[in-house]
Protein backbone atom coordinates (compact mmCIF):
# COMPACT_ATOMS: atom_id res chain seq x y z
CA UNK A 1 0.00 0.00 0.00
CA UNK A 2 1.68 3.20 -1.15
CA UNK A 3 -1.03 5.48 0.11
CA UNK A 4 -0.17 8.58 2.05
CA UNK A 5 2.57 8.46 4.61
CA UNK A 6 3.91 11.41 6.53
CA UNK A 7 7.33 12.80 7.03
CA UNK A 8 8.22 12.88 10.71
CA UNK A 9 8.83 16.63 10.60
CA UNK A 10 5.25 17.19 9.38
CA UNK A 11 3.92 15.34 12.39
CA UNK A 12 6.08 17.51 14.63
CA UNK A 13 4.46 20.61 13.19
CA UNK A 14 1.46 19.64 15.34
CA UNK A 15 -1.20 19.49 12.68
CA UNK A 16 -1.75 15.72 13.03
CA UNK A 17 -2.25 15.58 16.78
CA UNK A 18 -5.05 13.11 17.61
CA UNK A 19 -5.07 11.78 14.03
CA UNK A 20 -3.92 8.47 12.66
CA UNK A 21 -0.77 8.60 10.53
CA UNK A 22 1.65 6.29 8.77
CA UNK A 23 5.43 6.76 8.90
CA UNK A 24 8.23 4.90 7.17
CA UNK A 25 11.82 4.85 8.26
CA UNK A 26 14.62 3.13 10.12
CA UNK A 27 15.05 2.30 13.79
CA UNK A 28 17.30 4.90 15.37
CA UNK A 29 17.16 3.62 18.94
CA UNK A 30 15.11 0.98 20.68
CA UNK A 31 14.51 -0.28 24.21
CA UNK A 32 11.83 -2.46 25.66
CA UNK A 33 10.18 -2.61 29.05
CA UNK A 34 7.83 -5.51 29.55
CA UNK A 35 4.84 -5.16 27.29
CA UNK A 36 6.01 -2.04 25.43
CA UNK A 37 8.88 -1.52 23.00
CA UNK A 38 9.92 2.12 22.69
CA UNK A 39 11.19 2.60 19.16
CA UNK A 40 12.70 5.84 17.99
CA UNK A 41 12.26 5.96 14.25
CA UNK A 42 14.22 8.18 11.87
CA UNK A 43 13.41 9.26 8.35
CA UNK A 44 15.09 11.90 6.21
CA UNK A 45 13.25 14.62 8.11
CA UNK A 46 13.74 13.77 11.79
CA UNK A 47 13.22 11.31 14.64
CA UNK A 48 10.06 10.38 16.56
CA UNK A 49 9.19 7.99 19.39
CA UNK A 50 6.81 5.10 18.68
CA UNK A 51 5.65 3.05 21.66
CA UNK A 52 4.69 -0.40 20.40
CA UNK A 53 2.37 -2.14 22.90
CA UNK A 54 1.61 -5.85 22.75
CA UNK A 55 -2.09 -5.20 23.23
CA UNK A 56 -2.20 -2.55 20.50
CA UNK A 57 -0.43 -4.37 17.66
CA UNK A 58 -0.91 -8.04 18.58
CA UNK A 59 1.61 -10.73 19.40
CA UNK A 60 3.37 -11.27 16.00
CA UNK A 61 4.09 -7.58 15.32
CA UNK A 62 5.10 -7.03 18.93
CA UNK A 63 7.61 -9.86 18.63
CA UNK A 64 8.98 -8.26 15.46
CA UNK A 65 9.38 -4.90 17.19
CA UNK A 66 11.16 -6.55 20.10
CA UNK A 67 13.55 -8.45 17.86
CA UNK A 68 14.33 -5.61 15.42
CA UNK A 69 17.81 -4.09 15.80
CA UNK A 70 18.91 -0.56 15.07
CA UNK A 71 18.61 0.39 11.35
CA UNK A 72 15.87 -2.16 10.65
CA UNK A 73 13.41 -0.63 8.17
CA UNK A 74 9.85 -0.14 9.35
CA UNK A 75 6.33 0.89 8.32
CA UNK A 76 4.30 2.03 11.33
CA UNK A 77 0.83 3.44 11.87
CA UNK A 78 -0.81 4.91 14.91
CA UNK A 79 -2.35 7.94 16.56
CA UNK A 80 -0.25 11.06 17.22
CA UNK A 81 -0.03 12.31 20.79
CA UNK A 82 1.70 15.34 22.16
CA UNK A 83 4.33 14.38 24.73
CA UNK A 84 6.81 16.94 25.94
CA UNK A 85 9.22 14.23 27.15
CA UNK A 86 9.56 12.61 23.71
CA UNK A 87 12.21 13.89 21.27
CA UNK A 88 10.50 16.47 19.07
CA UNK A 89 7.53 16.75 21.45
CA UNK A 90 5.27 14.09 19.86
CA UNK A 91 4.89 10.33 19.76
CA UNK A 92 2.89 7.84 17.73
CA UNK A 93 1.16 5.07 19.65
CA UNK A 94 1.45 2.19 17.21
CA UNK A 95 -1.52 0.13 16.11
CA UNK A 96 0.46 -1.37 13.20
CA UNK A 97 4.20 -2.07 13.18
CA UNK A 98 5.72 -3.89 10.24
CA UNK A 99 9.45 -4.62 10.11
CA UNK A 100 10.22 -4.51 6.38
CA UNK A 101 13.77 -5.72 6.86
CA UNK A 102 15.47 -6.95 10.01
CA UNK A 103 18.90 -5.30 10.05
CA UNK A 104 22.01 -7.19 11.09
CA UNK A 105 23.93 -5.77 14.03
CA UNK A 106 24.94 -2.27 12.87
CA UNK A 107 28.74 -1.96 12.94
CA UNK A 108 28.73 1.69 14.00
CA UNK A 109 28.24 2.33 17.69
CA UNK A 110 29.20 5.30 19.85
CA UNK A 111 32.67 6.86 20.05
CA UNK A 112 34.32 5.41 17.01
CA UNK A 113 37.50 6.74 15.41
CA UNK A 114 37.41 9.04 12.39
CA UNK A 115 39.14 6.38 10.33
CA UNK A 116 36.54 3.76 11.24
CA UNK A 117 33.74 6.15 10.35
CA UNK A 118 35.39 6.91 7.00
CA UNK A 119 35.82 3.19 6.26
CA UNK A 120 32.12 2.84 6.96
CA UNK A 121 31.08 6.02 5.22
CA UNK A 122 28.43 4.17 3.19
CA UNK A 123 26.66 3.50 6.49
CA UNK A 124 27.65 6.61 8.41
CA UNK A 125 25.84 8.73 5.81
CA UNK A 126 22.71 7.93 7.83
CA UNK A 127 23.94 9.85 10.87
CA UNK A 128 22.01 12.90 12.01
CA UNK A 129 25.11 15.06 11.52
CA UNK A 130 25.65 14.07 7.90
CA UNK A 131 21.92 14.16 7.19
CA UNK A 132 21.82 17.78 8.43
CA UNK A 133 25.02 18.67 6.59
CA UNK A 134 23.75 17.36 3.27
CA UNK A 135 20.48 19.24 3.60
CA UNK A 136 22.45 22.46 3.96
CA UNK A 137 24.73 21.36 1.10
CA UNK A 138 21.69 20.89 -1.11
CA UNK A 139 20.44 24.38 -0.24
CA UNK A 140 23.83 25.93 -0.97
CA UNK A 141 23.99 24.28 -4.42
CA UNK A 142 20.46 25.40 -5.23
CA UNK A 143 21.16 28.84 -3.80
CA UNK A 144 24.13 29.26 -6.10
CA UNK A 145 22.01 28.30 -9.11
CA UNK A 146 19.19 30.63 -8.13
CA UNK A 147 21.46 33.56 -7.36
CA UNK A 148 23.08 33.47 -10.78
CA UNK A 149 20.13 32.50 -12.93
CA UNK A 150 18.11 35.33 -11.34
CA UNK A 151 20.86 37.70 -12.41
CA UNK A 152 20.80 36.67 -16.06
CA UNK A 153 23.69 34.19 -16.01
CA UNK A 154 23.50 31.02 -18.12
CA UNK A 155 24.54 27.66 -16.74
CA UNK A 156 27.01 25.93 -19.07
CA UNK A 157 29.48 23.04 -18.79
CA UNK A 158 33.14 22.53 -19.65
CA UNK A 159 35.10 19.30 -20.27
CA UNK A 160 36.68 17.30 -17.45
CA UNK A 161 39.46 15.88 -19.67
CA UNK A 162 41.89 18.67 -20.47
CA UNK A 163 45.32 19.00 -22.02
CA UNK A 164 46.86 21.87 -20.05
CA UNK A 165 47.11 23.25 -16.54
CA UNK A 166 44.96 26.14 -15.37
CA UNK A 167 46.22 26.20 -11.77
CA UNK A 168 49.81 24.97 -12.01
CA UNK A 169 51.29 21.63 -13.07
CA UNK A 170 52.04 20.28 -9.61
CA UNK A 171 48.46 19.31 -8.78
CA UNK A 172 47.46 17.86 -12.16
CA UNK A 173 46.01 14.35 -12.23
CA UNK A 174 47.18 12.38 -15.26
CA UNK A 175 44.79 10.08 -17.08
CA UNK A 176 45.90 7.50 -19.62
CA UNK A 177 43.50 8.45 -22.38
CA UNK A 178 44.70 6.15 -25.15
CA UNK A 179 47.89 4.11 -25.45
CA UNK A 180 49.60 7.09 -27.04
CA UNK A 181 47.98 9.91 -25.21
CA UNK A 182 47.89 11.25 -21.67
CA UNK A 183 45.42 13.93 -20.62
CA UNK A 184 44.59 15.56 -17.28
CA UNK A 185 41.56 16.01 -15.08
CA UNK A 186 40.34 19.59 -14.95
CA UNK A 187 41.38 21.88 -12.10
CA UNK A 188 38.98 24.63 -13.11
CA UNK A 189 36.63 25.41 -15.99
CA UNK A 190 38.14 28.85 -16.36
CA UNK A 191 40.01 28.71 -19.66
CA UNK A 192 36.99 27.13 -21.36
CA UNK A 193 34.67 29.56 -19.60
CA UNK A 194 36.56 32.45 -21.13
CA UNK A 195 35.79 31.01 -24.58
CA UNK A 196 32.11 30.39 -23.83
CA UNK A 197 31.77 33.88 -22.39
CA UNK A 198 32.13 35.39 -25.88
CA UNK A 199 28.87 33.70 -26.78
CA UNK A 200 26.79 33.89 -23.59
CA UNK A 201 28.48 36.86 -21.82
CA UNK A 202 27.46 35.89 -18.26
CA UNK A 203 27.90 32.23 -17.30
CA UNK A 204 28.26 29.88 -14.33
CA UNK A 205 28.75 26.21 -13.62
CA UNK A 206 28.85 23.77 -10.71
CA UNK A 207 31.14 20.85 -11.45
CA UNK A 208 33.83 18.70 -9.90
CA UNK A 209 37.43 19.92 -10.08
CA UNK A 210 40.42 17.71 -9.37
CA UNK A 211 43.72 18.47 -7.68
CA UNK A 212 46.44 16.03 -6.73
CA UNK A 213 46.96 17.80 -3.42
CA UNK A 214 49.89 16.49 -1.47
CA UNK A 215 49.07 18.81 1.40
CA UNK A 216 47.13 16.98 4.06
CA UNK A 217 45.11 19.70 5.73
CA UNK A 218 41.59 20.04 6.97
CA UNK A 219 40.67 21.94 3.81
CA UNK A 220 42.08 19.87 0.93
CA UNK A 221 40.38 17.09 -0.98
CA UNK A 222 41.43 15.77 -4.39
CA UNK A 223 37.92 16.05 -5.86
CA UNK A 224 35.83 19.05 -4.91
CA UNK A 225 32.74 20.78 -6.26
CA UNK A 226 33.63 24.01 -7.91
CA UNK A 227 31.09 26.79 -8.40
CA UNK A 228 32.54 29.06 -11.06
CA UNK A 229 31.49 32.26 -12.79
CA UNK A 230 32.75 34.24 -15.76
CA UNK A 231 31.36 37.52 -17.12
CA UNK A 232 32.16 39.85 -20.01
CA UNK A 233 32.75 43.53 -19.28
CA UNK A 234 33.20 42.84 -15.56
CA UNK A 235 36.26 44.27 -13.83
CA UNK A 236 37.81 42.83 -10.69
CA UNK A 237 35.83 45.11 -8.37
CA UNK A 238 32.53 44.25 -10.14
CA UNK A 239 33.23 40.57 -9.55
CA UNK A 240 34.10 41.10 -5.89
CA UNK A 241 30.77 42.87 -5.37
CA UNK A 242 29.01 39.86 -6.83
CA UNK A 243 31.00 37.47 -4.63
CA UNK A 244 30.18 39.31 -1.41
CA UNK A 245 26.50 39.56 -2.34
CA UNK A 246 26.48 35.82 -3.05
CA UNK A 247 28.02 34.94 0.31
CA UNK A 248 25.52 37.02 2.26
CA UNK A 249 22.70 35.54 0.17
CA UNK A 250 23.84 32.00 1.03
CA UNK A 251 24.18 32.80 4.74
CA UNK A 252 20.65 34.24 4.80
CA UNK A 253 19.27 31.25 2.94
CA UNK A 254 20.78 28.83 5.44
CA UNK A 255 19.40 30.84 8.35
CA UNK A 256 15.96 30.93 6.74
CA UNK A 257 15.77 27.19 6.07
CA UNK A 258 18.11 25.35 8.39
CA UNK A 259 18.00 26.45 12.03
CA UNK A 260 17.15 22.88 13.15
CA UNK A 261 20.08 21.47 11.17
CA UNK A 262 22.46 24.11 12.56
CA UNK A 263 21.35 23.01 16.00
CA UNK A 264 22.09 19.34 15.27
CA UNK A 265 25.52 20.47 14.07
CA UNK A 266 26.07 22.63 17.12
CA UNK A 267 26.63 25.68 14.93
CA UNK A 268 25.82 29.08 16.43
CA UNK A 269 23.53 30.84 13.88
CA UNK A 270 24.90 34.20 15.06
CA UNK A 271 28.10 33.43 13.16
CA UNK A 272 26.15 33.63 9.90
CA UNK A 273 23.82 36.43 11.01
CA UNK A 274 26.67 38.88 11.49
CA UNK A 275 27.98 38.49 7.92
CA UNK A 276 27.32 41.76 6.07
CA UNK A 277 28.62 43.57 3.01
CA UNK A 278 30.85 45.25 2.11
CA UNK A 279 33.70 42.89 2.95
CA UNK A 280 37.03 44.52 3.69
CA UNK A 281 39.57 44.59 0.83
CA UNK A 282 43.23 44.32 1.82
CA UNK A 283 46.17 44.37 -0.56
CA UNK A 284 48.68 41.51 -0.48
CA UNK A 285 51.42 44.00 0.40
CA UNK A 286 49.53 45.02 3.53
CA UNK A 287 48.80 41.40 4.43
CA UNK A 288 52.57 40.76 4.59
CA UNK A 289 52.74 43.49 7.25
CA UNK A 290 49.81 42.07 9.20
CA UNK A 291 51.48 38.66 9.18
CA UNK A 292 54.81 40.14 10.26
CA UNK A 293 53.04 41.67 13.28
CA UNK A 294 51.85 38.17 14.10
CA UNK A 295 55.40 36.82 13.93
CA UNK A 296 55.12 35.28 10.44
CA UNK A 297 57.82 36.48 8.04
CA UNK A 298 57.03 36.08 4.35
CA UNK A 299 58.62 37.62 1.31
CA UNK A 300 56.98 39.26 -1.69
CA UNK A 301 55.94 36.41 -3.95
CA UNK A 302 55.32 33.82 -1.24
CA UNK A 303 51.91 32.19 -1.26
CA UNK A 304 49.72 31.92 1.81
CA UNK A 305 49.19 28.45 3.19
CA UNK A 306 46.87 27.14 5.82
CA UNK A 307 48.99 28.44 8.71
CA UNK A 308 49.06 32.01 7.41
CA UNK A 309 45.38 32.09 6.52
CA UNK A 310 44.42 30.68 9.88
CA UNK A 311 46.42 33.41 11.62
CA UNK A 312 44.80 36.05 9.40
CA UNK A 313 41.21 34.95 9.97
CA UNK A 314 41.00 33.32 13.40
CA UNK A 315 39.97 36.49 15.21
CA UNK A 316 37.72 37.84 12.48
CA UNK A 317 33.98 37.36 12.24
CA UNK A 318 33.66 38.74 8.68
CA UNK A 319 35.10 37.36 5.46
CA UNK A 320 37.59 39.64 3.72
CA UNK A 321 39.27 39.98 0.33
CA UNK A 322 42.97 39.92 -0.38
CA UNK A 323 43.74 41.70 -3.67
CA UNK A 324 46.83 42.67 -5.63
CA UNK A 325 48.77 39.44 -5.34
CA UNK A 326 52.22 39.30 -6.95
CA UNK A 327 52.53 38.16 -10.58
CA UNK A 328 53.50 34.62 -9.55
CA UNK A 329 49.88 33.97 -8.51
CA UNK A 330 48.94 32.94 -12.06
CA UNK A 331 49.59 33.61 -15.72
CA UNK A 332 46.04 34.63 -16.65
CA UNK A 333 45.45 37.39 -14.06
CA UNK A 334 45.59 40.93 -15.37
CA UNK A 335 48.44 43.06 -13.92
CA UNK A 336 47.12 46.32 -12.50
CA UNK A 337 48.16 49.08 -14.96
CA UNK A 338 48.62 51.37 -11.93
CA UNK A 339 50.71 48.85 -9.97
CA UNK A 340 52.34 46.65 -12.60
CA UNK A 341 53.93 44.28 -10.07
CA UNK A 342 50.48 43.35 -8.71
CA UNK A 343 47.47 41.56 -10.14
CA UNK A 344 43.84 42.63 -10.36
CA UNK A 345 42.66 39.52 -8.57
CA UNK A 346 41.04 38.47 -5.33
CA UNK A 347 40.95 35.68 -2.80
CA UNK A 348 38.08 35.67 -0.33
CA UNK A 349 39.03 34.41 3.12
CA UNK A 350 36.36 33.08 5.46
CA UNK A 351 36.62 34.07 9.14
CA UNK A 352 37.12 31.91 12.26
CA UNK A 353 40.33 30.37 10.95
CA UNK A 354 38.85 28.92 7.76
CA UNK A 355 40.75 30.94 5.14
CA UNK A 356 40.43 30.92 1.35
CA UNK A 357 37.07 29.91 -0.10
CA UNK A 358 37.14 31.91 -3.35
CA UNK A 359 39.84 32.64 -5.92
CA UNK A 360 39.08 34.99 -8.78
CA UNK A 361 39.95 38.14 -10.67
CA UNK A 362 40.18 40.04 -13.91
CA UNK A 363 41.71 38.20 -16.87
CA UNK A 364 44.36 39.52 -19.23
CA UNK A 365 42.53 40.51 -22.37
CA UNK A 366 45.30 42.17 -24.43
CA UNK A 367 47.15 39.50 -26.54
CA UNK A 368 50.57 41.20 -26.13
CA UNK A 369 50.27 41.19 -22.35
CA UNK A 370 49.32 37.51 -22.37
CA UNK A 371 52.30 36.60 -24.59
CA UNK A 372 54.59 38.46 -22.22
CA UNK A 373 53.16 36.62 -19.23
CA UNK A 374 53.59 33.23 -20.94
CA UNK A 375 57.27 34.08 -21.37
CA UNK A 376 57.73 35.28 -17.81
CA UNK A 377 56.10 32.13 -16.44
CA UNK A 378 58.02 29.84 -18.84
CA UNK A 379 54.81 28.52 -20.35
CA UNK A 380 54.79 27.13 -23.87
CA UNK A 381 52.39 29.39 -25.79
CA UNK A 382 51.79 26.49 -28.20
CA UNK A 383 49.86 24.68 -25.47
CA UNK A 384 47.56 27.65 -25.05
CA UNK A 385 47.09 28.60 -28.68
CA UNK A 386 43.30 28.51 -28.62
CA UNK A 387 43.30 30.51 -25.39
CA UNK A 388 45.47 33.14 -27.07
CA UNK A 389 43.07 33.10 -30.04
CA UNK A 390 40.33 34.43 -27.77
CA UNK A 391 42.34 37.64 -27.45
CA UNK A 392 42.46 38.10 -31.24
CA UNK A 393 38.79 38.31 -32.10
CA UNK A 394 37.01 41.07 -30.27
CA UNK A 395 38.69 40.73 -26.89
CA UNK A 396 36.92 42.42 -23.97
CA UNK A 397 37.63 43.04 -20.30
CA UNK A 398 36.26 40.14 -18.28
CA UNK A 399 36.45 38.59 -14.84
CA UNK A 400 35.46 35.48 -12.97
CA UNK A 401 35.90 33.47 -9.84
CA UNK A 402 35.77 29.96 -8.41
CA UNK A 403 34.16 29.10 -5.09
CA UNK A 404 35.11 25.83 -3.42
CA UNK A 405 31.70 24.63 -2.28
CA UNK A 406 33.09 22.29 0.37
CA UNK A 407 35.34 25.03 1.72
CA UNK A 408 32.39 27.39 2.01
CA UNK A 409 30.18 24.71 3.55
CA UNK A 410 32.81 23.84 6.14
CA UNK A 411 32.72 27.41 7.32
CA UNK A 412 28.93 27.79 7.09
CA UNK A 413 28.35 24.81 9.37
CA UNK A 414 31.47 25.27 11.52
CA UNK A 415 32.99 21.92 10.57
CA UNK A 416 36.52 21.07 11.66
CA UNK A 417 37.32 19.12 8.48
CA UNK A 418 36.34 19.38 4.82
CA UNK A 419 35.68 15.63 4.62
CA UNK A 420 32.66 16.19 6.86
CA UNK A 421 30.75 18.04 4.15
CA UNK A 422 31.08 15.71 1.14
CA UNK A 423 29.34 12.32 0.96
CA UNK A 424 32.32 10.27 -0.20
CA UNK A 425 35.47 12.35 0.37
CA UNK A 426 38.49 11.75 -1.84
CA UNK A 427 42.00 12.49 -0.59
CA UNK A 428 45.42 11.29 -1.69
CA UNK A 429 45.08 8.47 0.81
CA UNK A 430 41.42 7.59 0.39
CA UNK A 431 39.40 6.57 -2.65
CA UNK A 432 36.92 4.21 -1.01
CA UNK A 433 34.19 3.52 -0.21
O1 LIG B 1 41.96 29.48 -6.14
P2 LIG B 1 41.69 28.47 -7.19
O3 LIG B 1 42.80 27.57 -7.56
O4 LIG B 1 41.16 29.28 -8.44
C5 LIG B 1 40.83 28.73 -9.63
O6 LIG B 1 40.78 27.56 -9.89
C7 LIG B 1 40.30 29.75 -10.63
N8 LIG B 1 40.61 29.28 -11.98
C9 LIG B 1 38.82 29.90 -10.43
C10 LIG B 1 38.18 30.87 -11.38
O11 LIG B 1 38.55 32.03 -11.39
N12 LIG B 1 37.24 30.42 -12.16
O13 LIG B 1 40.46 27.57 -6.75
C14 LIG B 1 39.22 28.17 -6.46
C15 LIG B 1 38.67 27.65 -5.15
C16 LIG B 1 39.55 27.92 -3.95
O17 LIG B 1 39.37 29.21 -3.46
C18 LIG B 1 39.05 26.85 -2.98
O19 LIG B 1 37.87 27.30 -2.35
C20 LIG B 1 38.68 25.72 -3.90
O21 LIG B 1 38.56 26.24 -5.20
N22 LIG B 1 39.73 24.68 -3.87
C23 LIG B 1 39.66 23.53 -3.18
N24 LIG B 1 38.70 23.03 -2.38
C25 LIG B 1 38.91 21.84 -1.80
N26 LIG B 1 40.02 21.09 -1.99
C27 LIG B 1 41.02 21.55 -2.79
N28 LIG B 1 42.10 20.80 -2.98
C29 LIG B 1 40.86 22.82 -3.43
N30 LIG B 1 41.61 23.56 -4.27
C31 LIG B 1 40.91 24.68 -4.53
MG1 LIG C 1 43.45 29.95 -4.81
Could you tell me the CATH number of the domain that includes residue 367?
3.30.930.10
| Mean pLDDT value of segment 85-97 | 95
**Burial class of 404 by CB neighbour count within 10 A (0 to 12, 13 to 18, 19+):** buried
182 exposed, middle or buried (CB, 10 Å; 0-12, 13-18, 19+)? exposed
CA 329 to CA 236: how far, in whole Å? 15
407 lines ligand 1 (CB under 6 A): yes
pLDDT of residue 413: 98
Q: Does residue 381 contact residue 245 with C-beta atoms inside 8 Å?
A: no
Q: Clarify whether residues 90 and 233 are in a common domain.
A: no
- Verify that 204 and 56 share a domain, yes or no: no
Which residues, at least 6 apart from 194, have a Cβ–Cβ distance to it below 8 Å? 230, 363, 387, 390, 398, 400
**Interval between CA 348 and ligand 2 midpoint (Å):** 9
- C-alpha of residue 258 to centroid of ligand 2, in Å: 29
Question: pLDDT band at 216, cuts 50/70/90?
Answer: confident
CB 359 less than 6 A from any atom of ligand 1 = yes
Q: Are residues 92 and 123 in the same domain?
A: no
* Ligand index nearest the alpha carbon of residue 305: 2
Q: Is 223 in the pocket of ligand 1 (CB under 6 A)?
A: no
Q: Are residues 81 and 148 in the same domain?
A: no
Give the confidence band of 2 by pLDDT, cuts at 50, 70, 90: very low
Q: Is residue 431 part of a domain?
A: no
Which of 38, 73, 101 delimits the end of a domain?
101
Q: What is the Å distance from ligand 1's center to 224 Cα? A: 9
The answer, yes or no, to whether residue 147 has pLDDT greater than 90, is yes
- Specify the ligand 1 atom closest to the Cα of 228: 12
Does residue 69 sit in the same domain as residue 183?
no
Average pLDDT over every residue of 397-418: 98
- DSSP letters for 321-349: EEE--BGGG-SSBPEETTEEEEESEEEEE
**Quick one: average pLDDT of 210-219?**
90
Of 73, 101, 129, the position where a domain reaches its end is 101
The model's pLDDT over 374-384, given as tens digits with 9 standing for 90+, comes to 999 999 888 88
**Which atom of ligand 1 lies closest to the CA of 171?**
28
Q: Give the count of domains, the chain.
A: 2
* Ligand 1 nearest-atom number relative to CA 361: 11
Q: Which of 31, 66, 101 is the last residue of a domain?
A: 101
The verdict on residue 141 lying in a domain is: yes
Query: Residue 395 pLDDT > 80, yes or no?
Result: yes
Q: Considering the domain boundaries, does residue 14 fall inside one?
A: yes
69-73, 198-202, 429-433, range with the lowest pLDDT: 429-433
**Radius of gyration, alpha carbons of the chain:** 26
Separation between Cα atoms, residue 256 and residue 87, nearest integer Å: 23
Measured between alpha carbons, how far is 352 from 411 in angstroms, rounded to an integer?
Answer: 8
Pairing of strands 202-210, 154-155: parallel
Give residue 64's domain range. 8-101
**Beta-ladder partners of 348:** 321, 358
State the average pLDDT for the chain.
96
Q: Is the CB–ligand 1 distance for residue 358 below 6 Å?
A: yes
Index of the ligand 1 atom closest to the CA of residue 221: 26
Beta strands 46-53 and 73-82, pairing class? unpaired
The answer, yes or no, to whether any atom of ligand 1 lies below 6 A from the CB of 51, is no
Protein residues within 5 Å, CB atom, of ion ligand 2:
359
Residue at 430 is within a domain: no
Residue 358 CA, closest ligand 1 atom number:
17
Looking at the fold, whether 295 and 348 belong to one and the same domain comes out as yes
Same domain, 256 and 338: yes
Predicted pLDDT of residue 1: 46
Describe the chain by its helix, strand, coil percentages, rounded to 5: 35, 30, 35
Q: Is 226 helix (H, G, I), strand (E, B) or coil?
A: strand
Let me know if residue 426 belongs to a domain.
Answer: no
Query: 106 lies in a domain?
Result: no
Q: Is the CB of 343 under 6 A from ligand 1?
A: no
For residue 407, give the ligand 1 atom closest to its CA.
Answer: 19
Domain for residue 80, yes or no?
Answer: yes
**Nearest residue to 270 (alpha-carbon basis) of 261, 285, 278, 259:** 259
Q: In this structure, are 317 and 170 located in the same domain?
A: yes
Question: How many angstroms does the Cα of residue 329 sit away from the middle of ligand 2?
Answer: 8
Whether the per-residue pLDDT at 255 is higher than 90: the answer is yes
- 424: which DSSP letter? S
pLDDT band at 3 (very low <50, low <70, confident <90, very high): low
Is residue 356 lining ligand 1, measured as CB closer than 6 Å?
yes
Burial (Cβ within 10 Å: 0-12, 13-18, ≥19) of residue 131: middle
pLDDT computed for residue 402 by the predictor = 98
What number is the average pLDDT over the span 333-348?
A: 97
89 and 143 housed in the same domain: no
Asked if the structure places residue 277 within a domain, the reply is yes
Task: Compute CA distances 339 → 184, 240, 321, 325, whole Å.
Answer: 35, 19, 18, 11
Q: Are residues 274 and 355 in the same domain?
A: yes
Whether 271 and 416 map to the same domain: the answer is yes
> What average pLDDT does this structure show over 67-71?
98
Residue 220 is predicted with a pLDDT of 95
129 Cβ inside 6 Å of ligand 1: no
How much distance in Å is there from the Cα of 359 to the middle of ligand 2? Answer: 5
Task: Verify that 64 and 200 share a domain, yes or no.
Answer: no
Ligand 1: residue whose CA is nearest its atom 24? 404
Ligand 1 and 319: CB distance under 6 A: no
Ligand nearest to the CA of 171: 1
What are the backbone angles phi and psi of residue 262, rounded to the nearest 5°?
Answer: -60, -35
Please state, as a whole number, how many other Cβ atoms lie within 10 Å of the Cβ of residue 399.
28
User: Of ligand 1's atoms, which has the minimum distance to the CA of residue 356?
Assistant: 17
Ligand nearest to the CA of 348: 1
Instruction: Return the sign of the alpha-carbon dihedral for residues 118, 122, 125, 126.
Output: negative
Q: Residue 21: which CATH number? A: 2.40.50.140
Amino acid sequence: MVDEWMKISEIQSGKYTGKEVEVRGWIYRTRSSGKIVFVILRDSSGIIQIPVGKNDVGEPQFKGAKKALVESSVIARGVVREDSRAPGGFEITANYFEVVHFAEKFPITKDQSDEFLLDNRHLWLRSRELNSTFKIRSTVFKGFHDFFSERGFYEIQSPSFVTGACEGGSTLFEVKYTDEKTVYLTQSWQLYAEAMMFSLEKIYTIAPSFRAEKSRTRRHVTEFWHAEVEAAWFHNEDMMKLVEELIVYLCELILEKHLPELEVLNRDPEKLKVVTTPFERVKYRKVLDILRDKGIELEWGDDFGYVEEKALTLERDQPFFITHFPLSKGFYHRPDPEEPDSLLCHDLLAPEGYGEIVGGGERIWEPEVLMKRFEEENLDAENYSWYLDLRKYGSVPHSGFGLGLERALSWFIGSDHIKNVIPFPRTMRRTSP
